[in-house]
C-alpha cells in the first residue's frame, strides 16, 4: 500500500499532476491512498501517524517543502519513503534521480529502496537536501514579500536583489570539533546538490556517503558578484577562491545575531544552525 501525502496544489490545473499520477497507479494495479495536507505542519503530522502504523510505503507528493515536512514527521524508519516530485521546487529529486510526476510511480513500483542520508538539525527539524543561513535566507524572505509572478520568477528576482544588496553575516563555524570565524555570503550543510529550482550549489554531494558537505562562501566584493552568479548558475562555484567545501559528520553554524535558517527551502527562526548526518536509517526509493 502506498500512503501518499500530497500538497493540495497538486489538485489544481487542467493538466493535473494528481490526475496523471492516479491514472498511472490504476494502470499499474497499485494499492494506494491519498492524504492531503491542509496547513503548514500537517504533512509532518500525517507522516508521523502513517509511519507509526508501520505498514506500506510512505510517499511525499509535492516539492521540497512537502518532502521536508514528511521527513521531519517520520517516527518509524522501518517504513520506506518514496517521492513523487510535483512542486515548483524539486531540487532533491534531481540529486536522487527521481523523475517528475507520474513517471516516479514506476520507480516506486519497480525498484528497491536504498539507504539515504538525512540531516538531524535539532528542535524537531531535519533536512534531506540543504540547510543553511545567509543569502539563501535573505532570498527566501524577499520571495515571501513578492505578490506577483511565478514562484520561479519570484526566486530569481529575489536572488538578483540579494546579490546586489546583501552584505554577508559574521558566523562561527564548528565542524567536527574545529572552529573558525568567517564573514560569509552563505554557510550551509548539504546532503543534496542543488537548491532554488536548479542552482547547483554543492555538486559533489552524495546521498549515501555517511557525510554532510559543509559549504561556505566568503562575502565577495560587489564588483565580483556577477562572476559569482555566473559560476553558481553553471555549477562551478567550487572553482572560486572564496568558496570552501569540507566533508564532515557534524556542523554548528552560529551567526552573530539570531535570525532565520532555511531547511530545504522552509524558513524557521534560529539562533544557530546545527546539523549532523544520519546514515543507514532511512530507506528511500530513488534512482
| Cα–Cα separations (whole angstroms), residue 214 to 56, 123, 217, 249 | 34, 20, 10, 9
Domain presence at residue 187:
yes
Domain containing residue 46: CATH number: 3.40.50.10330
pLDDT of residue 15: 52
Domain presence at residue 219:
yes
Same domain, 90 and 167: no
Same domain, 220 and 272: yes
**What's the pLDDT tens digit per position in 194-205?**
998 888 999 999
pLDDT of residue 109: 97
Same domain, 8 and 105: yes
Same domain, 100 and 176: no
pLDDT of residue 14: 37
Closest among 277, 285, 287 to 117, alpha carbons compared: 277
Domain containing residue 249: CATH number: 2.60.200.40
CB 96 within 8 A of CB 287: yes
Pairing state between β 2-6 and 57-62? parallel
Range of the structural domain that residue 10 is part of: 2-111
Domain boundary among 111, 144, 163: 111
- Grid coordinates representing 210 are 555517511
Number of domains in the chain: 2
Domain presence at residue 199:
yes
- 155: number of CA atoms within 13 Å, CB side? 13
Same domain, 11 and 105: yes
| Cα–Cα separations (whole angstroms), residue 13 to 19, 20, 21, 102 | 10, 12, 14, 15
Three-state DSSP class for residue 65:
helix
**What's the pLDDT tens digit per position in 100-124?**
999 999 999 999 999 999 999 988 8
pLDDT of residue 13: 43
| β-bridge mates for residue 236, sequence order | none
Domain presence at residue 265:
yes
Low-confidence ranges of the chain (pLDDT < 70): 9-15, 151, 226, 233
Same domain, 178 and 102: no
**What's the pLDDT tens digit per position in 46-91?**
999 999 999 999 999 999 999 999 999 999 999 999 999 998 889 9
Amino acid at each position: 500500500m502506498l500512503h501518499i501525502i500530497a500538497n493540495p496544489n497538486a489538485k489544481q490545473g487542467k493538466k493535473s499532476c494528481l490526475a496523471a499520477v492516479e491514472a498511472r497507479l490504476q494502470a499499474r494495479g497499485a494499492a494506494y491512498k491519498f492524504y492531503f495536507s491542509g496547513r503548514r505542519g500537517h504533512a509532518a503530522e500525517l507522516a508521523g501517524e502513517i509511519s507509526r502504523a508501520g505498514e506500506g510505503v510512505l510517499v511525499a507528493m509535492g516539492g521540497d517543502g512537502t518532502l521536508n515536512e514528511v521527513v521531519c514527521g517520520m517516527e518509524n524508519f522501518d517504513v520506506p519513503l518514496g517521492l513523487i516530485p510535483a512542486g515548483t521546487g524539486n531540487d532533491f529529486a534531481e540529486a536522487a534521480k527521481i523523475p517528475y510526476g507520474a513517471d516516479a510511480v514506476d520507480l516506486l513500483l519497480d525498484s528497491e529502496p536504498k539507504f539515504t542520508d538525512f540531516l538531524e538539525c535539532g528542535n524537531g527539524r531535519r533536512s534531506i537536501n540543504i540547510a543553511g543561513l545567509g543569502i539563501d535566507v535573505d532570498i527566501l524572505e524577499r520571495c515571501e514579500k513578492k505578490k506577483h509572478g511565478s514562484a520561479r520568477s519570484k526566486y530569481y528576482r529575489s536572488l538578483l536583489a540579494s546579490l546586489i544588496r546583501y552584505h554577508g553575516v559574521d558566523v562561527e563555524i564548528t565542524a567536527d570539533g574545529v572552529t573558525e570565524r568567517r564573514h560569509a555570503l552563505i554557510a550551509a550543510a548539504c546532503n543534496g546538490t542543488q537548491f532554488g529550482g536548479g542552482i547547483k550549489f554543492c555538486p559533489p554531494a552524495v546521498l549515501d556517503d555517511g557525510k554532510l558537505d559543509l559549504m561556505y562562501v566568503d562575502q565577495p566584493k560587489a564588483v565580483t558578484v556577477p562572476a559569482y552568479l555566473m559560476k553558481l548558475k553553471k555549477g562551478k562555484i567550487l572553482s572560486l577562491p572564496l568558496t570552501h567545501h569540507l566533508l564532515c559528520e557534524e556542523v554548528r553554524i552560529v551567526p552573530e545575531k539570531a535570525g532565520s535558517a532555511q531547511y530545504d527551502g522552509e524558513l524557521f527562526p534560529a539562533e544557530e544552525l546545527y546539523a549532523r548526518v544520519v546514515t543507514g536509517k532511512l530507506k528511500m526509493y530513488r534512482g
